[in-house]
Copies of this chain bind each other. A is one copy, B any other.
Amino acid sequence: MFTPIKQTSISKKVIAQIKEMVSEGSLQKGDKLPSERKMAEKLQVSRTSVREALKELEIMGLIESRQGEGNFIKSNFEDILLDPFSTIFLIKESNAQEILELRHVIEKGSVALAAERIVDEELEEIEKILDTAKTSNSEDELVKLDVMFHYKIAQSSKNFLLQSILNAVSSLIEASIKDTRKNILIKEKHKEIIKQQHNNIYEALKNKDIKAAEKAMSDHLEFVNNEMKKSIKN
């Protein structure tokens, strides 16, 4: 019996070929892909198949099409998880409480790995961030330094997946719990507590003490999350 030859099975082959080229390195981050017409010619398939393949690769987050410029292998994957997390939120499969829990889990895991892997240069950068925060009176600067402090620790874990999740989580917290980071950081009674907590984390990292680092991060986030939960309710 005849079975119709599906357009999609051809576009799947186009996808497989592009993925293979990325995997073996002949297509790299930021590379421009040939035009749809050229790809159709070279692969001897219809332009529709190429277009379908490109659309699917864009949905996968592997390529980006820039208006008037063409299609490129993406060059930056730091934000790749933000869209799916935002979607989960929008559709209400998850809520602010869960995102705070996820952050706790990820940061506790990151700081443990960081305690093993952090190098002197990274420790110095963290020290510098904390020093600047001690003397800063600008609310916006304090928020920025706080973000940097947590980001630097995730980076020191040398695990890109943990970093990417933390990036997405932080953006979501900023978006869904408006100004909370700021509100927590600037309260006078909080300032001292947080300074001390940050310092405990830094000391544990410096001593490469995994257990102490986990505990210090946990104490810190328990405090911060509790404050944040108050503002979710209000």
A29 within 8 Å of B (CB atoms): yes
- Asked if A61 lies at the interface with its beta carbon under 8 angstroms from chain B, I say yes
Chain B residues with CB under 8 Å of A204's CB are none
Of the four ranges (under 10, 10 to 19, 20 to 34, 35 or more), the interface on chain A belongs to 35 or more
Q: A84-B81, A87-B80, A160-B94 are in contact. Are A109 and B104 (CB under 8 A)?
A: yes
CA of A99 to CA of B160, assembled, Å: 9
CA distance A29 to B67 in the complex (A): 31
Chain B residues within an 8 Å CB radius of A87: 60-62, 77, 80
Residue A33, interface by CB 8 Å: no
Residues of B within 8 A of A101 (CB): 109, 113, 159, 161-162
Q: Give 5 A-B pairs besides A23-B90, A98-B160 with Cβ atoms closer than 8 angstroms.
A: A8-B67, A19-B90, A60-B84, A73-B91, A74-B91
